[in-house]
Amino acid sequence: MRNLPSDIAADVVIEVSRLLDDAEDLAPLPVHALVKRIRTTLQTRLSDQAIEELVVEMASKRGLPMVFDNPAA
């Protein structure tokens, strides 16, 4: 994995990793749902897009399939 920007807190990386571990039996991974879950679990200054990019990068490193359906707002 690449070096993370300084604005990405370790707790966000740990939470993404935990969620990916828990969601490995979900195929494909609902990226937007994971971002929403992270938002409800942690308080962070990261944008949804930054969290989404982190989820995608970490899931792709694990070879996990993903779906990018963005629910209607």
State pLDDT tens for residues 23-64.
767 778 889 988 999 989 888 888 888 899 999 999 999 888
Cis peptide before 30 (omega within 30 of 0): no
The pLDDT of residue 25 is 74
